[in-house]
């Protein structure tokens, strides 16, 4: 029965004081969020800590009234978890851990696996942010941008596929980029690592 209640209704109920609604949300998404965190950090204790920190942030944001409901509760929570994972890697980059034994090996301390994982997380976050930003564009601009950047189509191919002139396709691409910059500025988003 709980599965039938939409996340947005549970969020609204929790904000209105129904603590049970949050419990249902946590139980509903526990496995997916925990698995996601574990796939990045590969440590059960760290996974548990990040999971708890994630829901502490969720609770604080909901109680502050800062959450804007767009029917995207799980992606929002996953993004919080993702950011906390990145924070975890940044903190631990400065404090490398190694198994202490008599045969000390410098590569057990400075191996770059964690750095690569961090860079991959940041790259994934940027890609995810960009896809969300593109969704905010008008359909005609979004269509041209997706064809050009993600499908690597020429403007001639875009023109043929959309039934507009090459100049119109170029104009839509230009406006798409201008609008993306405005959206990035409006939301104060940083798309670099």
Residue with more model confidence, 188 or 52: 52
Looking at the chain, the whole-number percentage of residues with pLDDT higher than 70 is 79
Is the pLDDT at 147 greater than 50? The verdict is yes
Please check whether residue 141 is in contact with residue 175, taking contact to mean a CB–CB distance below 8 angstroms.
Answer: yes
**What is the pLDDT, as a whole number, of residue 71?**
64
Residue with more model confidence, 8 or 116: 8
Distance CA(14)–CA(92), nearest Å, equals 34
**25-42 per-position pLDDT tens digit:** 999 999 999 999 998 888
CATH code for the domain defined by 125-193: 1.10.10.10
Q: Which residues contact 82 (CB under 8 A, 6 or more apart)?
A: 36, 121, 124, 125, 128
Nearest Cα residue to 34 out of 49, 20, 21, 23: 49
**What is the pLDDT, as a whole number, of residue 110?**
47
Nearest Cα residue to 148 out of 125, 124, 177: 177
- Can you tell me the mean pLDDT for 123-147? 85
**62-94 per-position pLDDT tens digit:** 888 888 767 688 888 998 999 899 888 888 764
**What is the pLDDT, as a whole number, of residue 96?**
43
**What is the pLDDT, as a whole number, of residue 1?**
44
CA angle at 72 for the pair 67 and 78, rounded to the nearest 5°:
85
Looking at residue 151, the DSSP 8-state letter turns out to be: S
Distance CA(141)–CA(161), nearest Å, equals 14
Tokens of 143: 């269509």
Please check whether residue 171 is in contact with residue 177, taking contact to mean a CB–CB distance below 8 angstroms.
Answer: no
**114-133 per-position pLDDT tens digit:** 556 667 777 777 777 778 88
Q: Which architecture characterizes domain 1-95 according to CATH?
A: Orthogonal Bundle (1.10)
| Averaged pLDDT of the chain | 81
Looking at the chain, the whole-number percentage of residues with pLDDT higher than 90 is 26
Tokens of 75: 């992606």
Distance CA(80)–CA(67), nearest Å, equals 12
Write out the residue limits of the CATH 1.10.1740.10 domain(s) in the chain: 1-95
Distance CA(117)–CA(86), nearest Å, equals 9
Please check whether residue 32 is in contact with residue 74, taking contact to mean a CB–CB distance below 8 angstroms.
Answer: yes
Write out the residue limits of the CATH 1.10.10.10 domain(s) in the chain: 125-193
Is the pLDDT at 167 greater than 60? The verdict is yes
Confidence of residue 108 (pLDDT cuts 50, 70, 90): very low
């Amino acid at each position: 029965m709980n599965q039938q209640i939409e996340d947005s209704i549970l969020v609204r109920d929790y904000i209105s004081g129904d603590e049970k609604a949050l419990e249902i949300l946590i139980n509903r998404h526990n496995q997916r969020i925990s698995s996601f965190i574990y796939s990045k950090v590969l440590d059960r204790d760290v996974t548990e800590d990040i999971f708890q920190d994630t829901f502490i942030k969720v609770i604080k944001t909901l109680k502050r009234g800062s959450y804007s409901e767009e029917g995207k509760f799980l992606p929002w929570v996953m993004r919080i978890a993702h950011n906390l994972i990145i924070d975890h890697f940044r903190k631990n980059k400065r404090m490398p851990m190694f198994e202490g034994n008599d045969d000390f090996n410098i590569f057990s301390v400075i191996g770059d696996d964690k750095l690569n994982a961090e860079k991959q997380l940041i790259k994934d976050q940027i890609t995810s942010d960009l896809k969300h930003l593109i969704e905010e564009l008008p359909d005609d601009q979004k269509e041209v941008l997706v064809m050009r950047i993600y499908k690597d189509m020429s403007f001639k191919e875009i023109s043929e596929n959309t039934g507009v002139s090459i100049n119109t396709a170029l104009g839509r691409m230009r406006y798409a980029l201008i609008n993306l910059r405005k959206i990035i500025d409006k939301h104060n988003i940083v798309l670099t690592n």
